[in-house]
Structure 1
Amino acid sequence: RADRAEVIASLEHAIAEQGQAIVEQKRLLDLGIEQVLQTHVRVSNGDFNARVPLTEESVLWPIAVSLNNLLSRFQRLRYLEDEMQKLQPQIQQARMLDHEFQQMRQEIARVIPVMREARAMQRPIRARKSGTILDPLLSEINDNYLFVPTLEER
């Protein structure tokens, strides 16, 4: 009977210790969950530098690492997006310049045959304006002659 009482006391003690360990594990788990939630709230409020401050001992460590990696990637994407927004005016300007360049190429391709014909026919140049930045040049050359000087004129 005394042995039995000792066994019961020993089991009660083990159960009490186990209960305390479970309570402590629950407390640590609740604390970890709270830290993860606080990080979510900070990020939701625009703090993209927020990270889950858990250590390797935490049962939530794998979740914290995964979330922190995701936040780092998101932060990097936000940075790249901001940089892209800063470049938008230059990109738009480059597009406009490319468009103007293509228009000039087309206009030059249109004017060259007009000039060749005027030279061949020994007539003044008559090139229509096109609304491009070449119009001032066309104004200067219109009504002028292109000719190849003879040997005597050289």
Structure 2
Amino acid sequence: MYIELDKLLSADTTVDSWYDEGYILVSEILLYFSLINDWEELSKQVLNKLIEWQRKIAYCLDNECNDYEFHILLDLLNTNDAELFEICIDTLRSYPIEEGKKIVLKHPQITERINQMLTTTANLPAKTVLRDFISKIHSN
């Protein structure tokens, strides 16, 4: 299944076709991933992929909200690409917050970067996503 996922994410697509069809196909493939083979391979390969590939996978990693998806998103947060970072944060908002809260709070660089982005970005939707994530992380 990983090979099918890789081919789909590597395909040159328009933005419209990706959001109309591509991400649905990726989400369906992820449902059939095996824990041992596919998730392990994705975990090993994700940081070696092109930034567009990483953006696409980050957008889709909330199917099961499993540990593999969560840790892949955490790995992808170590990027210099603002769009990928925002996609990861947006996707993480759909996770059960209590499970991930402790892990995220153990990495203060994540909240520091979010706060820095909040002061520098003019993108209102991105600010909304970042503020919502920070709010969830700091809620009781």
Relative contact order higher in (CA < 8 Å, ≥ 6 apart):
2
Larger Rg, first or second structure (1 or 2):
1
TM-score where L is the length of structure 2: 0.24
